[in-house]
């Protein structure tokens, strides 16, 4: 097989930027910051990624779609889940945060130095994605998916989904 264009890590990153999050398709896996590393060795492409939450049911779909994107470039994919204490929601890109806000999700607040405290979730640091008011309250630590909480905006009287900081 003749390869018209050499397989490079840069091309793989570009292809992965076209792989949507299965649950929130407006944001890509690259915007979401879950792709940790791409290594290309000839046709072999190793993609390391960390799911936002280990129990995320979208994990297998993401893995399959990333492998497919690599195959479309003519590469032989190896998609590896990496788990360590280094990944946090701080890795979501600025563009990704903006896309989340536009779609009605509160992007995660910056990770504090220590463990998350309840009092931090009750502060005015959370901005309503609809009206930008910070007059919001925590309604439920848990939401429709593992990665989100439910908050309520007192200003525009609208509940919204807030990404958890991890």
Residues that bind another protein (CB under 8 A): 50, 53-57, 82-88, 115-118, 121, 139-146, 150, 164, 166
Q: Which is nearer to another protein, 131 or 146 (CB)?
A: 146
Q: Which is nearer to another protein, 75 or 107 (CB)?
A: 107
Query: HEC states along 80-145?
Result: EECCCCCCCHHHCCHHHHHHHHHCCEECCCCCCCCCCCHHHHCCCCCCCCCCCCCCEEEEECCCCC
In the complex, least distance from residue 7 CB atom to another protein, rounded to whole angstroms: 28
Distance in angstroms (rounded) separating the CA atoms of residues 42 and 92: 30
In the complex, least distance from residue 164 CB atom to another protein, rounded to whole angstroms: 6
Distance in angstroms (rounded) separating the CA atoms of residues 124 and 101: 17
Q: Which is nearer to another protein, 53 or 131 (CB)?
A: 53
In the complex, least distance from residue 40 CB atom to another protein, rounded to whole angstroms: 24
Q: Which is nearer to another protein, 84 or 113 (CB)?
A: 84
126: tokens are 């959370």
In the complex, least distance from residue 135 CB atom to another protein, rounded to whole angstroms: 20
């Amino acid at each position: 097989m003749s390869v018209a264009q050499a397989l490079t890590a840069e091309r793989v990153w570009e292809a992965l930027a076209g792989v949507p999050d299965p649950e929130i398709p407006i944001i890509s896996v690259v915007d979401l910051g879950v792709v940790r590393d791409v290594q290309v060795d000839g046709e072999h492409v190793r993609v390391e990624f960390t799911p936002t939450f280990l129990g995320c049911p979208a994990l297998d779909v993401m893995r399959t779609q990333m492998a497919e994107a690599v195959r479309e470039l003519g590469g032989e994919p190896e998609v590896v889940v990496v788990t360590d204490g280094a990944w946090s929601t701080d890795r979501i890109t600025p563009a990704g945060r903006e896309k989340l806000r536009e779609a009605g999700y509160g992007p995660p607040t910056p990770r504090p130095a220590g463990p998350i405290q309840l009092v931090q979730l009750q502060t005015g640091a959370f901005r309503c994605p609809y009206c930008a008011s910070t007059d919001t309250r925590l309604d439920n630590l848990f939401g429709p998916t593992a990665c989100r909480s439910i908050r309520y905006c007192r200003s525009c009287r609208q509940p919204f989904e807030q990404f958890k900081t991890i």
